[in-house]
């Protein structure tokens, strides 16, 4: 009996920690609509423009990965997954954008150089690497992107501009990638 009581007490104390870790909110929720915004496209199909991906590809299933200081290794794994999925589905049936939040003190040239290096290293052709000014800008506020340093990424999967899945701090491990693939397949009607 004491063991069961100790277990339940420990579980009761741990649950709020688990809930707060998984309860972090960032970006529009499932069922919400994504908004127009004009990032700077450094690589990908719209490189050199400020094309709104939602306006241009709004009805196409798409993934936006908002990056707020995530590790390059994790971003690379997510980007590779997107690139593979777009190649498999076809660029007319799935779009992918990695939206970097430009730190206030970093120059435009520095950020653009880093994004070109990432695209080259990851062999990205279909995934657009874009950026918006940070930490506070209209797109970040419109999308309700949580820029707290504990939120490294916010991943939005949507179709017809409606969010089907929202992941906060998605890990590029087997479990995270499977969750992302499943959400993309659902958005693509598979």
Among the ranges given (9-13, 104-108, 183-187), the one the predictor scored with the smallest mean pLDDT: 9-13
- Domain total for the chain? 1
Would residue 144 count as lying in a domain?
yes
Within-domain flag for 4? no
Look at residue 9 in the predicted model and tell me its pLDDT: 32
* pLDDT score recorded for residue 15: 32
Answer whether residue 21 is part of any domain.
no
Backbone angles phi, psi at 64, to 5 degrees: -115, 130
Task: Report which of 124, 133, 181 is spatially closest to residue 157, judged by C-alpha positions.
Answer: 181
Residues present in the chain in total: 190
In a domain, 10, yes or no: no
Contact between 111 and 100 (Cβ < 8 Å): yes
The per-residue pLDDT for range 127-159, each reduced to its tens digit, is: 999 999 988 899 999 999 999 999 999 999 999
Domain membership of residue 119 (yes or no) is: yes
Report how far residue 187's alpha carbon sits from residue 16's, in angstroms, rounded to the nearest whole number: 32
- Supply 53's token pair: 């991906």
CATH assignment of the domain containing 99: 3.40.30.10
Percentage with pLDDT > 90 across the chain:
83
Q: What is the pLDDT of residue 58?
A: 81
Asked if 64 and 155 count as a contact pair (C-beta separation under 8 A), the reply is yes
Which has the higher per-residue pLDDT, 28 or 22?
A: 28
Checking if the pLDDT of 14 tops 90, the result is: no
Q: CB of 79 within 8 A of CB of 122?
A: yes
- The parent domain of residue 96 ranges over 27-187
Give dist(CA 79, CA 65) in Å, integer. 9
**Domain-embedded: residue 19:** no
Mean pLDDT of 90-101: 96
**H-helix or E-strand containing 81?**
helix 72-89
> Which pair of structure tokens corresponds to residue 173?
């491990």
Residue 8 within a domain: no
Burial letters 165-181, b for 16+ CB under 10 A, else e = bbbbbbbbeeebbebbe
Cβ proximity of 157 and 60 under 8 Å: no
Side-by-side strand order, sheet with 153-159:
40-41, 127-133, 95-102, 62-67, 153-159, 162-168
pLDDT in tens, 45-90: 999 999 999 999 989 999 999 999 999 999 999 999 999 999 999 9
> How high is the pLDDT of residue 102?
95
How much is the pLDDT for 22? 54
């Amino acid at each position: 009996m004491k063991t069961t009581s100790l277990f339940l007490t420990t579980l009761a104390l741990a649950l709020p920690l688990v809930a707060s870790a998984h309860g972090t909110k960032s970006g529009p929720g499932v069922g919400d609509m994504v908004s127009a915004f004009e990032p700077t496209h450094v690589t990908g199909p719209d490189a050199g423009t400020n094309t709104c991906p939602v306006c241009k590809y709004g009805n196409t299933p798409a993934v936006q990965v908002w990056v707020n200081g995530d590790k390059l290794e994790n971003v690379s794994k997510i980007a590779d997954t997107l690139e593979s999925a777009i190649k498999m589905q076809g660029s007319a049936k799935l779009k992918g954008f990695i939206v970097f939040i430009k730190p206030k003190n970093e120059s435009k040239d520095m950020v653009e150089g880093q994004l070109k290096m990432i695209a080259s290293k990851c062999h990205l052709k279909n995934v657009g690497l874009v950026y918006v000014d940070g930490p506070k800008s209209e797109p970040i506020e419109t999308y309700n992107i949580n820029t707290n340093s504990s939120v490294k990424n916010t991943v939005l999967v949507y179709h017809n501009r409606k969010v089907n899945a929202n992941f906060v701090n998605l890990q590029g491990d087997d479990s995270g990638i499977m969750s992302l693939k499943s959400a993309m397949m659902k958005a693509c009607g598979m």
